[in-house]
Amino acid sequence: MQITLSLGLVFYLNSLANTNYQTFQRASTGFVESSKTIETLRKAFAQTSNQIEQITNNFAPGQRIDVRDQVLALQQLAAAIRTDIALANLRESAGGKINQLASSIDAQAQALIQAAAKTAAASPQEVRTLQDHLRSERSRIMVEDFGALIDSPRA
């Protein structure tokens, strides 16, 4: 009887350890996937931001500039952040931060449209103000919004 109970206990502990290991594997795989996805999206945002920086540096009073490609890139990034499967666990644990980041990127796209439209009738000082606003918002998104996701616990 003692041997049977001991074997049962050993079997139970082995089964428990195996289950815990599998749970840990799933959690760590999800963490790695979401971390890689965040980093990929962050790099895509940085690349788009560099393009926007080059374009906005060329803003001049009375000039009309086409920013449709950059606006589309920003909108696609925001959509990817809202829907990417690799971020599903993060959406469950930090949905507010995901939504904040996506909303900030959407707002950056709208601000870029408005800045490009205002440049046509803006003074040199107004153009500099538009450029500075866009630049500071891009920096804030990169540091604060992406930073909040990077620091978020993943389920």
Q: What is the pTM of this model?
A: 0.77
User: Is a pLDDT exceeding 90 seen at residue 111?
Assistant: yes
The phi and psi torsions of 53 (rounded to 5 degrees) equal -60, -45
**What sections of 1-155 are H helices per DSSP?**
2-57, 68-83, 88-119, 124-140, 146-151
Distant-in-sequence, close-in-space partners of 84: CB < 8 Å, separation ≥ 6: 37, 41
In this prediction, residue 137 has a pLDDT band, given cuts at 50, 70 and 90, of: very high
Cα distances (angstroms) measured from residue 66 to each of 63, 70, 119: 10, 9, 11
In this prediction, residue 155 has a pLDDT band, given cuts at 50, 70 and 90, of: very low
The mean per-residue pLDDT over the stretch 132-142 comes to 95
102 within 8 A of 76, measured Cβ to Cβ: no
133 within 8 A of 111, measured Cβ to Cβ: yes
The mean per-residue pLDDT over the stretch 98-120 comes to 94
| Residue 145 identity | D
Q: 3-state class of 17 per DSSP?
A: helix
User: Is a pLDDT exceeding 70 seen at residue 20?
Assistant: no
